[in-house]
Amino acid sequence: MSKRRSVNGSHVRLELTEERCSLPKDINEAIQNVFVKGIMQTKFFLNSSSQVDSKTFSKEEEEIEIQSLGNKGVSRLLFAIFLFGIYRTLKTELGKHKISTKTALHNMFVVAAMANNTLTHAMLLLTRESNYSLLTMNKILDSIGERWWAKHFSGSMAVARLAHFLLAEGMLVYLPKPCEDIHWKIDLIAKVPASSVNLCFQVKADESINTMWYKIHSGKPEQDSKSNLARFLNGVEKFQDIYKGSYVPIEATLGSKAFDRGCLQPTGYIIDALNFMIQEASGMIQHAVPDPAC
């Protein structure tokens, strides 16, 4: 199976829901159980020559959906935690034994991308109070150390917050395929219906600021081709070749202090900045489209 095929999966379309889900009282136990279940599967991936793909965990995903009793937000959260159990243990074991086979490293990055995207999806389905309570999950999950949960939580929350704004503006919003996330550094894809406005975002969170920062790019970087920015801009160019459209690459950093804890909706000047970002990007696309009269 080729690398491209093994991680291609599909774009997950995100949507806003009127009734968001709450976490049940026994969620801590459920989280601990699926995390341990993920840890128990790590040994297989350390010694396997098979690459992870979108169907690798379909059985576990289905079992978690049944366990969640129709609560889609909880289902997405528990599946994300299951994947994090695999990712964190795989990362630790690879470092401990100083083994870094190409397949094992590939699987680690794919599982991490799947976990982060699934957590972002869960945040859009859960209530503000539920998202706020997720901040305390480090007490359950940080047994491995390094405060990894806080890092992944803030990153997924930043993507969820940007997605929420774009959806509220009437845009079509998608999560990238794992390969697009890993190799091209694309975190979010957005389209304006019935227009030529298409956007690819690289999203970061900054816990120290109460504002947002963005940069809209129009060409390739003049720096190290191995940098994250170069990989993102080159990745968007390849994305355009595959999906036949014009996509504007945008770097966006959202300050966590600009939002109430657990809240996805931006307020005040953050809304103004986001609106200006979309208007500026839209103007660049329209300017790049040739005049039919020419």
Q: From 77, 112, 146, give the residue that closes a domain.
A: 146
What's the CA gap between 81 and 13, in Å, rounded?
21
pLDDT at position 251 over 60? yes
pLDDT at position 1 over 50? no
pLDDT at position 51 over 70? yes
Exposure on the CB side of residue 24, measured as CA atoms within 13 A: 16
Number of domains within the chain: 2
Residue 221: predicted pLDDT = 66
Residue pair 38/52 in contact (Cβ under 8 Å)? The answer is: no
152 and 282 in a single domain? The answer is yes
CATH number of the structural domain spanning residue 234: 3.40.1350.10
What's the CA gap between 294 and 275, in Å, rounded?
31
153 and 281 in a single domain? The answer is yes
Residue 151: predicted pLDDT = 85
CA 25, 121, 112: angle at the middle one, nearest 5? 100
In angstroms, the Cα distances linking 224 to 85, 182, 216, 252 are: 34, 18, 19, 20
163 and 122 in a single domain? The answer is no
Residue 248: predicted pLDDT = 93
**118 inside domain:** yes
What's the CA gap between 246 and 197, in Å, rounded?
7
Residue pair 258/165 in contact (Cβ under 8 Å)? The answer is: no
Residue 47: predicted pLDDT = 74
Which pLDDT band, with edges at 50, 70 and 90, does 226 fall under?
low
**100 inside domain:** yes
Which pLDDT band, with edges at 50, 70 and 90, does 283 fall under?
confident
Q: What does the pLDDT look like over 140-196, one tens digit per residue?
A: 775 544 577 888 889 999 999 999 999 999 999 999 999 999 999 999 999 988 887
Q: From 117, 146, 175, give the residue that closes a domain.
A: 146
pLDDT at position 30 over 70? yes
Residue 21: predicted pLDDT = 93
164 and 252 in a single domain? The answer is yes
pLDDT at position 5 over 90? no
**10 inside domain:** no
142 and 160 in a single domain? The answer is no
What's the CA gap between 191 and 173, in Å, rounded?
7
Q: From 146, 161, 186, give the residue that closes a domain.
A: 146
Residue pair 85/39 in contact (Cβ under 8 Å)? The answer is: yes
pLDDT at position 225 over 80? no
Residue 287: predicted pLDDT = 44
Between 136 and 252, where is the model more confident? 252
Give the whole-number percent of the chain exceeding pLDDT 90: 50
| pTM for the structure as a whole | 0.89
195 and 163 in a single domain? The answer is yes
**2 inside domain:** no
Listed ranges 225-229, 247-251, 266-270; the one with the highest mean pLDDT: 247-251
The values of phi and psi at residue 23, to 5°, are -80, 135
Which pLDDT band, with edges at 50, 70 and 90, does 218 fall under?
confident
The beta-strand segments (E) located in 97-207 are 172-175, 188-191, 198-206
Residue with tokens 């799947």: 114
Residue 293: predicted pLDDT = 34
136 and 157 in a single domain? The answer is no
Domain that holds residue 126: 17-146
What's the CA gap between 176 and 118, in Å, rounded?
11
The beta-strand segments (E) located in the chain are 12-14, 172-175, 188-191, 198-206, 212-216, 247-255
